[in-house]
Structure 1
Amino acid sequence: MLTVRDLPAFPELGITACHVGDDREVQSAQVLSDTDWIRSNIAHALIVTHSRYLEDAERIMFTLSAGGAAALVVSGASADTLDPALRDTAAQHRLPLLTTSHSLSDWKALLTHRVSELCVTAARRHAARLGTLLDQLAHPRADTVTGVVEYLAEELPGSVVVRDAGGVRAAAPPAAPVTLAAALEHPDQPRQALDGLHVTSVPLGAHGALVVGTPGPLGQAGTELTTCAAKVLTVALPGGQRSDDLVVSDAVRQVRLSAFQLLMTGHAVDAQRVTASIMPGLLDPTHAQVYVADCGRAGRALVMAQADRLFAGQALTVACPAFDNHIISVVPLVEEQEHEHTVRHLLEVFRTAGVHIGGSQPHELKAVGDAYDEALAALTRASHYPERIVIASPRPPGLADVLPAGPARSWATALLQPILSTARIRQLELTAMALEFRTTAASKVLGMHRNTLARRVAQTCGAVGLDPERAMHRIALSLAIQVVRMHGTGSAAESGPPATLHDLLTGQEVRAWADKTLRPLATDRRDLVRTLRAWVTCEFHVDQAAARVGIAPKTVRAHIQAAEHLLERDFITGIPQDLMEDHGEHRLSGIRPLTCAMYATTPPGEPYPALTTVGRAPRPANASPWPAEVS
């Protein structure tokens, strides 16, 4: 992870530390000027501003400190010329204070994106460092304890000693016991200052300790690395217990989560490298299935421990970072290995605890994001089935499959033209994933800061003239990206004006697909089509749809949930209440086909959903059409 103390090491940022104090993690950067305000979400963010905007420094410092900002970075001043009162105010609020030699315009144009890139790189390195430590257990050497100590001394860097009941067990460098002699006499003190060294002591069982001395206090990344080393040493030391039935350590979980998030963003090779030390060869197969389990009343830790035991190293299982009661298992597919019986066994173990599971179809390893989406949709239906498990059916032809290839490619290319010259297909796919939720869920699942993800979507939409706050615009953008994935892009040599989305959705093939898609709704005695058409036309505002149809909002929600069951789609049900927004409680993968089907079947004389009324805002000549690559 990237921390405040790391920043001066990157000359392109031009940062000098004035007052740091406790080290803090950095996840993003924001600019504060006369046209930029302090945003609601500033946790772990660098706030970059000019001294002229700090007239009310006390209020600003209080706001940043309360919001958990990483640091305040002042442009237009050096460490020597910075107002002493500003230093005092920062120290009072325990807020790290930095200066930068770059202007605010440089930060807006380039450096905020550079900070995001550095965050991703640091996170990957941190996961690799933890993985290397765990490799000491996966591939034990003649003296694993010495190996861990030498590795930790090199990575921090510093002096490291392991002390047990018999005295010094291992040390690096060899003179470390002399350097840390005074601290070794009192290993029960977690923090000490010793001859210019900052000493940290972590207990190892009843009579042991890991003692670390570094020139400066450990930052967050160094502290986590030291804690992970202590856990490894606890197992490696004589008498340490190791049981496959125990819940895996926090360090292993962090490495697994890093690998899962890399898979979600299409970085299969990076995920293979991260897991190589703890689960060698697991991600070598080309295809995998994903299972998502809702742990019901059993408790996530207990279900996860049982899943680890049953899969016996044949699956990558993680605690879902977005939904507190979910666990996710990525199961690589190997010939002659059948995993569905393992999943059903897991259900049998917790048959009275309300556990239920959704599973995907097999997907390529680089398409784990699509498999997760399928499994999450299946999970919504699983709670209504007596077996408590639903495996997604082979995907029926979707809208993108029935659109005429030539006209669809023409329309998508015209819409995405401002970004196609600079965007790779994988960047477009990541944006499409980010569009799925209007909440923090997407950022947690993808392992990216919410601000970074929101900026990606906003900049992409702005470049093509769409409004990211409009659900219809998000649907149009995600559909265009689907078309480009399936059919590629058109060329300037193609004759005639580009097709419109209206032309595509009113064609004969799409009309036939829409009739078939909506046909299950006719089995319900309620007029579900009328309610859903109003909901779509009102851009998914339940209260407006209720007023339009003349029924209660509660009835509108009941009709939507009934339609979910009949169409086997997830519109609003599978989203926890704490992740809902006032009028955004929907999943794009569900409402996208519904919206297009309603558009294609619009009765004569009734208004079409506002799907094609997309304005195209002119982009400034000096603006970047695509957000910087951050993952």
Structure 2
Amino acid sequence: MPTLRFATGVEESELRFVEEATTADADRPLEGVHALTPDNDPDPDQIRRHLVVIQAQDPRLSDRIQLARLLSRLKRAQATALAIAQPPTGRTTTAASRITAAERRGIPLLTICHEPATWLLLHRAVTREHHDQLTRTATLHRELLEQIHHLGQPDGTQRLVTWLASTARAHVTVVSPRLLTTAAAPADAHDVLQPAHEEITRLAHTGGIGSAALDTEGHQIRLFTIGDTCPAPVLALAAPAFTPQTNTAIARTLDLLVAQSAIENAARGRARLRQGEESVRQAILQLLMTGHVTDAQRTAAGIAPGVLDTDECRVFVLKTASHTERATVIQQCDDAVGTTALVSACPAFPDEVIVVAPRRTAEHHVFTNLTTVAQHAPRRYLGGSSPHRLADTAQAYLDASRALIVARRITARAHLYITEIQLAHVLDARACAWARTLLAPILDLPDTRRDQLLATLRLGLDFQPAAAARILGTHRNTVARRLAEAAELLDSDLQDIAHRAVIGLALEVRARRHHRVQPAAEPSVGIRSLLDTDEVRRWARQFLEPLHSDRRPLLETLAAWARSNGRVDIAAAALDMNPATVRSHLRQAEHLLQRRLVTGSHADTDTEPDIAGAHDVVLAMATLCDDVVQI
């Protein structure tokens, strides 16, 4: 709003204070000019925040009682000031009594040109300035509302700083509590405000809401704390001058910066909570994958009460389009399953989400809702396991990953693992003694060392070392060292596909017999004798039977691949085929057998599971074809 200071700047009106004005008098608000005639009294509704003009010859100025009554009316009506129009013959001295009376009632006393036309000119100038200020204020508020729409966004602080710099025609920065410039406008604002660095440091660590001002050559600098924390971020501005409108913009921007800071702090807090919960969920999953069920249940009680109070579970693996959308998919999975399942980011593969669902009435509900999440966006796939004991979560994960292979090749993009008879299920009673004998060098170690090597070996046979390390929560070099130690104890070559298959079978037999297999009274048999039964041969034929549904020689390709220790290039040379053709055959075999076979490429090393599908293929072929692979 215009003030008396503005009005005295309109030269044509010759408006002047009778005595030197105080700052408070000069800054009194003014909305217009109202002239009094000798025969009327001021209307309170017309003179509020107005400059009242009275002719010098008006009798009310000569009579002390009438003057007092006039000044009292002006005060009650909240008039801005009283101006005495000078006679045309020249200026006259304002009587001391008038000045005293005006001061007593708090009414500033001024003189003005005697011409009524100048009063009208002044009135128009004041009303025009008032209108312009209202327009600027409306524009300011409209722009502030636009800034409010961006509160909470990552660039919210920078947007506010850029807007304030433009509005105030100033150099503006926001300095964090650690005294780092987090937003600046224009680009050289940091350099312009460098002289205020020490004062910014002091203000940031003072505590409470504070401000400071200092002048440098060519600039006035104003500093304000954002909020009342200690230490606090600081808003710094440098400008040639600060107008009332600029001060208004600064005050409103400070309010918005406080809100932006609160939103950012809340977002960081939520992110820390999510990260902490995600770490706990991954830890629970790692405990389950390594067979530490009781520890997993105890840990899960804090974030998912009752979810793991079960004997059996299904595991689902949802593969996302890319690792960048996994956080979104995790939230969608959480919303889909609620408290009926445990959702976790896969510690091994950055584009996978793992869901452990207890085997209850809700498991179908979980699969249905997860299928909806998978089909919500392209390039998402869902694989689900058959039911497994909670202690065998690692095997359930393998089954879900096998189902995922099928899901990536069908229109529905979701597939449940088809329950099948495992080789370990059809071995006769001699299998326990055989597995105990084979694994004895590890089983006879002290408990802690034994469990550590067995967990690493179980995962090391199913995953690439880097992935196994992430699942175990350890370094890949540690996994490599443990695998090397296990291979030495077992006198086996873990780079040989047949050795891996045999050790994997022994571990599966041991797991099936509840981890406490005692040696049988009869001597242990060899693997070849153990596989030489009608039940095993029937299992091998049923396992490989799906390959005959394809017109291509898939079985022949698999035989060459197995003889070549899983090397595609060597198998291609032996078959006189292009390596691409061999890979195509293997991919089709993967689909038919629900097993992953092709590994070893750069992409496979860290981003794809090395599922032990090859183990079953090798054992089935060793059972039916002695010349394919020797075990």
**Shorter chain as normaliser: what TM range?**
0.5 to 0.7
1:207 aligns with 2:236: no
Aligned AA (1:383) = R
Aligned AA (1:364) = R
1:465 aligns with 2:491: yes
1:341 aligns with 2:361: no
Give the CA RMSD over aligned residues.
Answer: 3.9
Distance 1:473 1:209, change over 3 A: farther
Would you say the 8 A contact 2:374–2:380 is kept in 1?
yes
Would you say the 8 A contact 1:263–1:271 is kept in 2?
yes
Distance 1:404 1:444, change over 3 A: same
Structure-1 residue corresponding to 2:428: 404
CA-CA distance at 1:499 after TM superposition: 1.5
Task: Give structure 2 stretches of 5+ with no counterpart.
Answer: 1-176, 178-201, 210-224, 233-258
1:177-216 deviations in Å (ceiling 9; x for gaps): xxxx99843799xxxxxxxxxxxxxxxx96365879xxxx
Structure-2 residue corresponding to 1:572: 598
**For the residues of structure 2 that align with 1:361 and 1:429, how far apart are their CA atoms?**
22
1:392 aligns with 2:417: yes
Pairing partner for 2:344 from 307, 312, 318:
318
1:40-85 deviations in Å (ceiling 9; x for gaps): xxxxxxxxxxxxxxxxxxxxxxxxxxxxxxxxxxxxxxxxxxxxxx
Structure-2 residue corresponding to 1:261: 286
Superposition pairs for residues 92-171 of structure 1, below 5 Å? none
Q: Looking at secondary structure, tell me which structure has more helix per residue.
A: 2
Would you say the 8 A contact 2:531–2:623 is kept in 1?
yes
CA-CA distance at 1:430 after TM superposition: 4.7
Superposition pairs for residues 114-513 of structure 1, below 5 Å? 184-185=205-206, 207=227, 249-296=274-321, 299-335=325-361, 338-350=365-377, 353-394=378-419, 396-406=420-430, 408-422=431-445, 427=452, 428-487=454-513, 494-496=521-523, 498-513=524-539
Aligned AA (1:417) = A
Aligned AA (1:285) = T
**For the residues of structure 1 that align with 2:302 and 2:350, how far apart are their CA atoms?**
27
CA-CA distance at 1:255 after TM superposition: 2.0
**For the residues of structure 2 that align with 1:339 and 1:444, how far apart are their CA atoms?**
26
Structure-1 residue corresponding to 2:629: 609
CA-CA distance at 1:591 after TM superposition: 0.6
TM-score where L is the length of structure 1? 0.54
Distance 1:342 1:492, change over 3 A: closer
**For the residues of structure 2 that align with 1:358 and 1:389, how far apart are their CA atoms?**
6
1:451-504 deviations in Å (ceiling 9; x for gaps): 2222222212211211233232222212122223335777677345x3221222
Would you say the 8 A contact 2:467–2:609 is kept in 1?
no
Aligned AA (1:449) = H
CA-CA distance at 1:590 after TM superposition: 0.1
1:530 aligns with 2:556: yes
**For the residues of structure 1 that align with 2:446 and 2:469, how far apart are their CA atoms?**
20
Distance 1:485 1:307, change over 3 A: closer
CA-CA distance at 1:292 after TM superposition: 0.9
**For the residues of structure 2 that align with 1:286 and 1:592, how far apart are their CA atoms?**
27
CA-CA distance at 1:545 after TM superposition: 0.8
Would you say the 8 A contact 2:456–2:483 is kept in 1?
no
Aligned AA (1:599) = A
Sequence identity (%)? 33
**For the residues of structure 1 that align with 2:609 and 2:619, how far apart are their CA atoms?**
15
1:199-244 deviations in Å (ceiling 9; x for gaps): xxxxxx96365879xxxxxxxxxxxxxxxxxxxxx9xx9998699x
Aligned AA (1:591) = A
Task: Give structure 1 stretches of 5+ with no counterpart.
Answer: 1-160, 162-180, 189-204, 213-233, 613-631
Question: What SS does the corresponding residue of 2:612 show, helix, strand or coil?
Answer: helix
CA-CA distance at 1:387 after TM superposition: 1.4
CA-CA distance at 1:533 after TM superposition: 0.4
Question: What SS does the corresponding residue of 1:361 show, helix, strand or coil?
Answer: coil
Question: What SS does the corresponding residue of 1:277 show, helix, strand or coil?
Answer: coil
Aligned AA (2:554) = L
**For the residues of structure 2 that align with 1:187 and 1:332, how far apart are their CA atoms?**
52
Q: Answer with 1 or 2: which has the greater Rg.
A: 2
**For the residues of structure 2 that align with 1:467 and 1:559, how far apart are their CA atoms?**
27
Distance 1:252 1:409, change over 3 A: closer
**For the residues of structure 1 that align with 2:580 and 2:264, how far apart are their CA atoms?**
61
Distance 1:483 1:272, change over 3 A: closer
1:592 aligns with 2:615: yes
Would you say the 8 A contact 2:590–2:596 is kept in 1?
yes
TM-score where L is the length of structure 2? 0.54
Distance 1:489 1:371, change over 3 A: closer
CA-CA distance at 1:246 after TM superposition: 9.2
Aligned AA (2:295) = D
Structure-1 residue corresponding to 2:169: none
Question: What SS does the corresponding residue of 1:249 show, helix, strand or coil?
Answer: helix
**For the residues of structure 1 that align with 2:628 and 2:415, how far apart are their CA atoms?**
35
Structure-1 residue corresponding to 2:22: none
Distance 1:261 1:183, change over 3 A: farther
Distance 1:366 1:550, change over 3 A: same
Aligned AA (1:365) = L
Would you say the 8 A contact 2:346–2:352 is kept in 1?
yes
Would you say the 8 A contact 2:465–2:479 is kept in 1?
no
Structure 1 segments of 4+ aligned residues over 6 angstroms from their partners = 237-243, 245-248, 488-493
**For the residues of structure 2 that align with 1:211 and 1:315, how far apart are their CA atoms?**
43
Distance 1:267 1:555, change over 3 A: same
Would you say the 8 A contact 2:432–2:518 is kept in 1?
no
Question: What SS does the corresponding residue of 1:435 show, helix, strand or coil?
Answer: helix
1:552 aligns with 2:578: yes
Would you say the 8 A contact 2:461–2:612 is kept in 1?
no
Distance 1:183 1:272, change over 3 A: farther
**For the residues of structure 2 that align with 1:303 and 1:278, how far apart are their CA atoms?**
19
**For the residues of structure 1 that align with 2:397 and 2:426, how far apart are their CA atoms?**
24
Would you say the 8 A contact 1:520–1:566 is kept in 2?
yes
Question: What SS does the corresponding residue of 2:349 show, helix, strand or coil?
Answer: coil
Instruction: Choose between structure 1 and 2 for higher RCO, CA contacts under 8 A separated by at least 6 residues.
Output: 1
Would you say the 8 A contact 1:437–1:587 is kept in 2?
yes
Aligned AA (1:416) = L
CA-CA distance at 1:535 after TM superposition: 0.5
Aligned AA (1:274) = T
Would you say the 8 A contact 2:205–2:230 is kept in 1?
no
CA-CA distance at 1:544 after TM superposition: 0.9
Would you say the 8 A contact 2:559–2:628 is kept in 1?
no
Question: What SS does the corresponding residue of 1:290 show, helix, strand or coil?
Answer: strand
**For the residues of structure 2 that align with 1:426 and 1:362, how far apart are their CA atoms?**
24
Structure-2 residue corresponding to 1:101: none
Pairing partner for 2:546 from 498, 520, 531:
520
1:410-445 deviations in Å (ceiling 9; x for gaps): 332332222222265855355222221233111112
Aligned AA (2:591) = H
CA-CA distance at 1:532 after TM superposition: 0.5
**For the residues of structure 2 that align with 1:452 and 1:275, how far apart are their CA atoms?**
27
**For the residues of structure 2 that align with 1:506 and 1:586, how far apart are their CA atoms?**
31
